A and B are shown apart, each in its own frame.
Chain A
Amino acid sequence: MEALLSIDSAIVTWLNQWMGEWGVVDKAAELVVSDYLVPTLMSLALMSTWFLARDPSDRAANQKGVLVALLGVGFSNLTVLIINQFYFRDRPFVGHELEMLFYQPTDSSFPANPAAVAFAIAFGVFLYNRALGVALGGLASLWVLSRMYSGVFYLSDGLGGAAIGVSITYVFSLLMRLIEPLPTTVLSTMRRFHLA
């Protein structure tokens, strides 16, 4: 555990030492680290996934991916909330002298809720649409990296959050298969009204 914490600290301080070296990178990181850019882009991508497909069977698969991702997001959030009732970890800026690009959050650093949410979306889409899922996974990774660069997360916070998002979304993808034909019936009903 001590070794993990010291690796975490070493990574954050190593990344953060580059802040101020390249203005363009700092500006880009300031944008990416925001609570609004990556989540909004990922949510818009999720909305596009609902509509975007070559044929009706592709579209039905994409739409199941959207449903799985939404359930994954909700329950990943809940899991992080429950873990935070029992475990609190200080943010990196509390114990280290770091330059900040972001406000100083007061909630627990571990597990990282943004990582849980972003990876739940990316993995939910990945299960049904590989290319888009990989692209969203890249966006989610960039978000977590920018937060580490800004001294808001440790690496293990991001990995813990991502593991929660991916595993809970995977459980819901299995559940979705177990409760068939319910998801297909819901989508068929929406298709009658030209909404799916």
Chain B
Amino acid sequence: MVASFSVDYFILVYVAAMGVLQMIASRRDLRGMLLFPAPSIAFLVGLCAVIAAFAWFFASEPRNLSDTEGGLDGNRAASMFSAASSLAVFSTLVISSLINRSLGRDGQAPSPGLDALGQTTYLRALSGSLKGLWKRS
């Protein structure tokens, strides 16, 4: 029972976090993080993913359960959130890098930090930064 509740919560957080990341990427013009060609589509799909994840989680089973009756205790819920949201960030960065692989091919040095994702993909920006660090060392 707890295992199934944990899996459901993991799915809720993973899908909702993927949705939130698409909404942020479209709002802040981080094209290297988009999973869809148009920012407006990415925003809409992201919003639908968040709503659908919560609707599914709360409509599929009774969720007001104590941790002794199959619910999650606070620590477990926090761990599940951390794991699922980290996986969502990792998946978004990797999948968007594959989808947008032509972005930032011009070889220009990417901006520092997350702003690089406005011009290139995460994997390309990371490889550029690592090469820079290697040359300097």
Contact = CB atoms under 8 A, between A and B. Distances in A.
B122 A194 contact: yes
What does DSSP make chain A's interface, helix, strand, loop or mixed? helix
A12 B63 CA distance: 24
Contacts, number: 90
A73 B65 CA distance: 23
Report which residue of A59, A77, A191 has the largest number of chain B beta carbons within 10 angstroms of its beta carbon: A191
Contacts of B113: 56, 59, 190-191, 194, 196
A31 B63 CA distance: 9
Interface residues of A, number: 33
Given A105-B66, A192-B112, A40 B117 contact: no
B105 to A, nearest CB: 17
Contacts of A195: 114
Given A34-B58, A34-B64, A39-B77, A194 B129 contact: yes
A36 interface: yes
Interface of A: 30-31, 33-37, 39-40, 43-44, 47-48, 51-53, 56, 59, 77, 101-105, 113, 117, 190-196
